Amino acid sequence: MMTDRSGIGLTSQRARNRLVDLLREMGISSEEVLELISSTPRHLFVDEALASRAYENNALPIGFGQTISQPYVVAAMTQVLRETGPLDRVLEIGGGCGYQSAVLARIASQVYTVERIAALANRLRSRLHELRIANVRVRHGDGRLGWASQAPFDAVLVAAAAPTMPKALLEQLSIGGRAVMPIGRQGDQMLTLFRRTEDGFEEQPLQRVSFVPLLDNVD
């Protein structure tokens, strides 16, 4: 299972290169981030039946009513965190299938990811293990609380939308730390960059996006 890292046909390097060209046209300018997208095997993070669509720029279902984020959005969030400061310790909220975690793992020293659906958290753990990605710690729980015992973080990436940024996540940023999160309700979300300064927090709207909601009950 899941040994075909390089991919064939629609999961081949050619399909990935087409995706990278598209992301470049859409404004992803960091060659480092484009290389991460090109070399991370997204087809291994979705159901086999969907693997042939893994290098299209679309969100795809991963079960439990959740989706793997669109490659463009993964690239844009990774790029903004990369370009605004250090990425040593990174907290991800909404690990889902683990694709964004795998991308972050390549540029961060240590990634902490919180996922509220137990089955997804378990699958994420075993998938990262199979791919020999060893610098991601996975926790099943409510990501709105962050991961206090591992704080502070240089960066926080939230992969689900809410009307406001959870306070605990801002509090777990180091000074100079950044957080990126889709803010708003379904159909009206703005990807927003937060930065912790010596004096408080700055906030900058980036672009309109569409994410699944950040949920409050944990199963």
- Residues with catalytic annotation? 69
Distance CA 120, CA 8 (A): 26
Which 3 state secondary structure label does DSSP give 186?
A: coil
100 near ligand SAH, rule: CB under 6 A: yes
> Can you tell me which of 15, 159, 165, 169 binds ligand SAH, judged by CB under 6 A?
159
Q: Does residue 118 contact residue 138 with C-beta atoms inside 8 Å?
A: no
Residue from 23, 80, 93, 105 in contact with ligand SAH (CB under 6 A): 93
41 contributes a contact to ligand SAH by CB under 6 A:
no
Site membership for ligand SAH, residue 116 (CB under 6 A)? yes
Q: Which of 174, 178, 91 is nearest to 136 (CA)?
A: 91
Rg (C-alpha) for the chain, rounded Å, is 16
CB of 197 to ligand SAH, least distance (A): 26
Closest Cα partner for 175 from 192, 157, 149, 152?
A: 152
Minimum CB separation of residue 198 from ligand SAH in Å reads 29
Q: Which residues bind ligand SAH (CB under 6 A)?
A: 62, 66-69, 93-94, 96-97, 99-100, 114-117, 120, 142-144, 159-160, 212, 214-215
